Amino acid sequence: MEVQITNENFETLKNGELPLVVDFWATWCGPCRMIAPIIEELANEYDGKIVVGKCDVEENDDIVSEFGIRNIPTVLFFKGGQVVDKTVGAVTKAKFVEKFNALL
């Protein structure tokens, strides 16, 4: 299940026990809509192992600024509160699966 990432809950999720994957997106972004079903599917497949969240770049300036998000979709992979990997642009499900598995 995906969670909505906000300026208010981000630090708690980032520093939680489970790894965190954050999809930075916007409603007007075509490539974001292309990867959305993949991210949602992986959120369900990895439920209980990885927290998967979506962060609307237009509503969460603090997080966007903190990580210098300039292009979307950008997906950041956190482990132990630190960014350990990222993707920019639309990538395949196989590439996401590879990166999700690397977090475990």
pLDDT digits (tens, 9 = 90+) for 63-88: 999 999 999 999 999 999 999 999 99
Q: Which of 22, 32, 35, 52 is flagged as catalytic? A: 32
Is 97 a residue whose pLDDT tops 90? yes
Q: What is the pTM of this model?
A: 0.96
Q: Which of 18, 29, 88, 103 is flagged as catalytic? A: 29
Look-up: residue for tokens 């509160």?
81
pLDDT band at 53 (very low <50, low <70, confident <90, very high): very high
pLDDT band at 1 (very low <50, low <70, confident <90, very high): confident
Average pLDDT, the chain: 97
Q: Which residues pair with 25 in a beta bridge?
A: 56
For the question of residue 55 being annotated catalytic, the response is no
| Closest to 64 in 3D by CA, of 12, 19, 13, 10 | 10
Distance from the Cα of residue 1 to its chain's centroid: 12
pLDDT score, position 86 = 97
